[in-house]
Amino acid sequence: MESPWRAEFFWLALLAFAGLFFGKTTGLYVIGACLAVLAYLIRQLYHINRITLWLRAGGKIPQGSGIWEEIYYLIYRLRRRNKSRKKRLVEMLERFRTATAALPDATVVLGPRDEIDWFNEAAGRLLGLRKGDIGQQISNLLRAPKFAEFLRARNYAATVGIASPVVEKGQLEIRVVPYGKDMRLLIAQDVTQLRFMERVRSDFVANVSHELRTPLTVLRGYVETLGDAGEALPERYQKIFRRMEEQTTRMQKLIDGLLALTKLESGAQADLKRVCAAALLKTVCDEARLLQQDGQSLELRLESGADLLGLEAELRSAFSNLVLNALKYARGDSAVTVLWRDEPGGAALDVEDDGPGIAAEHLPRLTERFYRADAGKSGAGLGLAIVKHVLTRHEGELKIASSPGKGSCFSCRFPEKRLLRNRA
């Protein structure tokens, strides 16, 4: 295109020349100049009017000359680009909608006040949402108290399991992911099948453990009786009976541990009671002292006066697992410390020993069933799994600080809502 400014100057020069010519022929130079400026102004106003009409109503690109031709063209190009960008965005949105609609998980977009902004087909199927529910607060539609509390807590790392409000016996696992400004995505996964399989597994383990318990008790009885009469037997038989006794005791512990775990997994949350932490810890430590090796000592320090809200039997089993482990792994001449203390947001029980410690790679897996960092020491590998379950049921958590050669500290942390601080 020819330079637009050149054409514009041509127009300006033409009008100036016409004004000059008018002045020369009439002698009224000022009027001539005014007429030239007026004509130029009219030309600009004319084009401004055209551009406004065009921008408002759309249609064909207007024709112009000089700088106006350039302006019309640039606006036209901008519009065309915007149009194709809009088209691409609409296509992308459509693809996104089709993809999210096809997701097997229920997906709901929540606004700042937990109101429903959008949801996919699966949300209709699993959560029973309908078109008319848009704008409603989700907690008015999913009325499980657990869900309301979960939503209020805004703990985005956690998930909550609830029964599906529409699918009979359906189980859902819900998580919430924050995004953008005050927006959140609620994702509900159908875990009915998974929960069913978990129940089958846990029933199987419980049944097998239960069925093994009776024959094992009989076997242990016989082995013990034979062992008692051991002195009359030749030395090599005595050794065999001692081994048999050790192994049956180990199997008994395994079965007891497995049964305790299945009870914890399937047991409904019973009525919570005030558990005097000081008294419980004194009993646990007194019992543990009976098993400590000569030269070992066990110190109990009670720095917090808080009591626990929970189930005494479960807490007792968790605490004594930790204390007995500490004595088992501590050196023969060392002190194990049990400390009940306050901490920001709750209270904690620290069980500390100066044993061999645990290498970092084992730490994340220690609470798995049957996981043993030290295969040398006899043990079922179920103790810490039980501790973790008990703590989860008490809304607490287990923290392990340990490094090889430096001993270990197992901390059970309880949140303030699981503590009672005023004297009963």
Q: Is 379 in the site for ligand ADP (CB under 6 A)?
A: yes
Find the binder of ligand ADP among 91, 211, 287, 374 (CB under 6 A). 374
Find the binder of ligand ADP among 15, 106, 315, 384 (CB under 6 A). 384
Q: Is 412 in the site for ligand ADP (CB under 6 A)?
A: no
Maximum distance among all Cα pairs of the chain, rounded to whole angstroms? 151
The residue (of 185 and 401) whose beta carbon lies closer to ligand ADP is 401
Q: Is 398 in the site for ligand ADP (CB under 6 A)?
A: no
Put residue 369 in one of left, alpha, beta given phi > 0 → left and psi -120 to 50 → alpha. Answer: beta
Using the contact rule CB under 6 A, the part of the chain among 5-13, 75-83, 281-289, 367-375 near ligand ADP is 367-375
The residue (of 272 and 359) whose beta carbon lies closer to ligand ADP is 359
Q: Is 292 in the site for ligand ADP (CB under 6 A)?
A: no
Shortest reach from residue 349's CB to ligand ADP, in Å: 14
CA-to-CA distance for 218 and 409, rounded, in angstroms?
39
318-347 binders of ligand ADP (CB under 6 A)? 321, 325-326, 329
The residue (of 241 and 329) whose beta carbon lies closer to ligand ADP is 329
342-361 binders of ligand ADP (CB under 6 A)? 353, 355-356, 358
The residue (of 79 and 253) whose beta carbon lies closer to ligand ADP is 253
The residue (of 227 and 355) whose beta carbon lies closer to ligand ADP is 355
385 burial class (0-12, 13-18, 19+ CB within 10 angstroms)?
buried
The residue (of 347 and 384) whose beta carbon lies closer to ligand ADP is 384
Q: Is 381 in the site for ligand ADP (CB under 6 A)?
A: yes
The residue (of 225 and 378) whose beta carbon lies closer to ligand ADP is 378
Find the binder of ligand ADP among 50, 125, 341, 372 (CB under 6 A). 372
144-203 binders of ligand ADP (CB under 6 A)? none
For ligand ADP (CB under 6 A), the number of binding residues is: 21
What's the CA angle centered on 108, arms 105 and 110, to 5 degrees? Answer: 155
Q: Is 72 in the site for ligand ADP (CB under 6 A)?
A: no
Shortest reach from residue 294's CB to ligand ADP, in Å: 19
Find the binder of ligand ADP among 151, 408, 411, 414 (CB under 6 A). 408
The residue (of 190 and 354) whose beta carbon lies closer to ligand ADP is 354
The residue (of 20 and 400) whose beta carbon lies closer to ligand ADP is 400
Q: Is 366 in the site for ligand ADP (CB under 6 A)?
A: yes
The residue (of 64 and 356) whose beta carbon lies closer to ligand ADP is 356
Binding site for ligand ADP (CB under 6 A): 321, 325-326, 329, 353, 355-356, 358, 366, 371-374, 379-385, 408
